[in-house]
Amino acid sequence: MRQRKGWLAAWLIVGLLAMLVAGCSGKSDKTTGQTVASATPTQTNKADTSDKSDKSDKKVNLRLYTVSALDKDEFDRILPEWNKLHPNIGVELVVLTGADSWDKIRIGIAGGEKIDIAIMERDTFRDKASKMYLKLNDLMKKDNLNYLQEFGAYGRATMIGDDIYGIAKILSPSVVIYNQSVLDKAGVPLPDENTWTFDDYFNWIAKLTQKSADGKSTVFGGMHWQGALKGILDLAIYGGWDIVTADGKPNINSPILKKAADLYYKAIFTDKSMPSNADVNATKLNAVYGTLSGELGSTLAASNNMLGLDDWKVTGQMTQEADDKNWIRMAKMPRWDASSPANQITTIVTGYSITKTSEHPDEAYQFLKWYTTKGLELSAKVAKRIPAWTKADSKQLFQDWRFYKDKNGTPVEGKSRNEMYKKIVDPAQVAIFPKYRADYEYSSRMLEELTKELTLVLADEKKVEPALADAQKAAQAIYDKEKK
């Protein structure tokens, strides 16, 4: 393994890697809404692998289920290398499509379907983990793998207490992406990104917003890339909030969560500086693409989006002029308030797990470990994501991230963007996570109750305070039942 690079010591970031063998063909399953891509292992010189199990005549075929179509590109890129190392362990990728993709994985595992590895659910996995995923502690102990040393604090995202249910792979670190041309037209400068707070941010996007004579917003000042619901929950984390307290009690009546919800509600329904769900549905507004085109002044987004600027020029989401004039820029995330620490960020962590239905957990573990480490390095030219693995080679990633496909699908090396890449992986940034939910399986159900209520708030069908009160009541009932 390569030595950890300086910036990766603080945090790394991955892109979802997945796999398929070169020359494999996809086939559509109309009954399940899935694409199946098979990777049939090819026998190679056995000196290519140090794994003794590969020297036997036993052949194992694994199936990996994901909801990301991009995983197929990664799979095509990296599987030939896996097959050289492990010719007797084949892997098949199944990409599930549709709004019910996650449900299909849950139902498949519950029904005993042959699924060896699956993309993990995120915050809502904890109450299902022991039923869906294999605990990896023993396999890692046998392998002498120190999980949190190899994957840093991001590894906590796949854990409940000390139990490890998957391996972290994909990170989406938060950043403010903005369009300088919108700022110039509005005559509104960027506040000092080293000191600004979220109050400053929401005031800033209100000034950036442009309206027609009838008061309708024609250019929104800002948006959260995952929508306002995720935005509220993400914002509250900057204030130190979590769905439960240290002793596992519900924490929905927190003034921090209320302030986060109030800020979004005011922006959407009073200032109209952020689009409502109805606005998004009517216009198909995309937070990142809208910022690239100037329909939005800014977006609270993930910094790995900035790795695709060349791709977006090819597909038409960004103009050559915008790139030449450096209109698309990044700013540091605001602080919760003036007393909050500097350079804090949140990030989505996507992991993969061995499922309870796997008949080949040892082989699945071998692949999963490779897939989330060396495999992700090999896919960087086709999947521009940032690794959670702390020993990834930053120099190689910077070089490979430059590649994109032209209109003919031919790989092209783009211009150097190393200064931007360095900002994306700035070691001064400190990733923050919810403090306590990982210790309590039932926190997932509390989040579901909160989500129901906030959905009503964001449809303007319920005010913030009564919505949070009702969510607190439902969460308290969950707590009381658990503690009986």
Ranges of beta strands (E only) in 79-214 are: 89-96, 117-119, 159-160, 163-164, 167-179, 210-211
- Quote the mean pLDDT of the chain: 87
Residue 218's SS3 state is strand
- Least Cα distance to 170 among 120, 240, 245, 103 occurs for 120
**Would you state the pLDDT for residue 309?**
94
Please tell me the total count of domains within the chain: 3
**Would you state the pLDDT for residue 453?**
98
Of 330, 345, 360, which residue is a domain's last?
Answer: 345
Q: Answer yes or no: do 266 and 409 share one domain.
A: no
User: Which CATH number covers residue 305?
Assistant: 3.40.190.10
Q: Answer yes or no: do 321 and 460 share one domain.
A: no
Read off the amino acid at residue 82. Answer: W
Q: Answer yes or no: do 146 and 222 share one domain.
A: no
Read off the amino acid at residue 182. Answer: V
Torsion of CA 428, 433, 438, 440, to 10 degrees: 150
> pLDDT of 128-170, one tens digit each?
888 899 999 999 999 999 999 999 888 988 998 899 999 999 8
54 belongs to a structural domain:
yes
248 belongs to a structural domain:
no
Is the Cα torsion angle 52, 55, 60, 64 positive or negative in sign?
positive
- Least Cα distance to 250 among 453, 456, 102 occurs for 453
329 belongs to a structural domain:
yes
Rounded CA-CA distance 391/380 in Å is 15
427 belongs to a structural domain:
no
**Would you state the pLDDT for residue 57?**
64
> pLDDT of 30-85, one tens digit each?
323 444 444 333 322 222 333 444 545 689 999 999 998 888 889 989 999 999 99
Q: Answer yes or no: do 58 and 127 share one domain.
A: yes
431 belongs to a structural domain:
no
> pLDDT of 301-346, one tens digit each?
999 999 999 999 999 999 999 999 999 999 999 999 999 999 999 9
Q: Answer yes or no: do 188 and 163 share one domain.
A: no
Do residues 402 and 416 touch, judged by C-beta distance below 8 A? yes
Q: Answer yes or no: do 82 and 211 share one domain.
A: no
Q: Which two tokens stand for residue 401?
A: 């991230």
Read off the amino acid at residue 337. Answer: D
Q: Answer yes or no: do 362 and 473 share one domain.
A: no
3-state secondary structure 128-157: CHHHHECCCHHHHHHCCCCHHHHHHHHHHH
Of 397, 413, 429, which residue is a domain's last?
Answer: 413
Do residues 260 and 239 touch, judged by C-beta distance below 8 A? yes
Q: What angle do CA 42, 44, 47 make, to 5 degrees?
A: 150
Q: Answer yes or no: do 131 and 216 share one domain.
A: no
Tell me the Cα Rg of the chain. 23
Is the Cα torsion angle 396, 401, 402, 404 positive or negative in sign?
positive
> pLDDT of 207-226, one tens digit each?
999 999 999 999 999 999 99
pTM: 0.81
Indicate the pairing of strand 60-66 with strand 117-119.
Answer: parallel
Do residues 169 and 350 touch, judged by C-beta distance below 8 A? yes
> pLDDT of 383-396, one tens digit each?
998 999 999 999 99
Question: For 172-197, what is the mean pLDDT?
Answer: 97
**In the predicted model, is pLDDT for residue 239 greater than 60?**
yes
**In the predicted model, is pLDDT for residue 1 greater than 50?**
no
Rounded CA-CA distance 112/120 in Å is 17
298 belongs to a structural domain:
yes
Q: Answer yes or no: do 80 and 98 share one domain.
A: yes
Q: How would residue 300 be classed by pLDDT, with cut points 50, 70 and 90?
A: very high
15 belongs to a structural domain:
yes
Indicate the pairing of strand 210-211 with strand 167-179.
Answer: unpaired
Is the Cα torsion angle 291, 292, 295, 297 positive or negative in sign?
positive
Do residues 188 and 209 touch, judged by C-beta distance below 8 A? no
Rounded CA-CA distance 220/297 in Å is 6
- Least Cα distance to 330 among 176, 165, 140 occurs for 176
Q: What angle do CA 408, 412, 417 make, to 5 degrees?
A: 135
Which domain covers residue 196, as residue numbers? 173-240+253-345
Of 311, 329, 345, which residue is a domain's last?
Answer: 345
Q: Answer yes or no: do 126 and 164 share one domain.
A: yes
The angle, 0 to 180 degrees and rounded to 10, between the axes of the packed helices 70-85 and 361-371 is 110
Q: Which two tokens stand for residue 453?
A: 């209520």
Q: Answer yes or no: do 63 and 122 share one domain.
A: yes
462 belongs to a structural domain:
yes
Q: How would residue 426 be classed by pLDDT, with cut points 50, 70 and 90?
A: confident
Q: What angle do CA 346, 482, 254 make, to 5 degrees?
A: 40
Q: What angle do CA 384, 388, 393 make, to 5 degrees?
A: 70
Is the Cα torsion angle 151, 152, 155, 159 positive or negative in sign?
positive
Q: Answer yes or no: do 70 and 141 share one domain.
A: yes
3-state secondary structure 39-88: ECCCCCCHHHCCCHHHHCCCCEEEEEEECCCHHHHHHHHHHHHHHHHCCC
Do residues 64 and 370 touch, judged by C-beta distance below 8 A? no
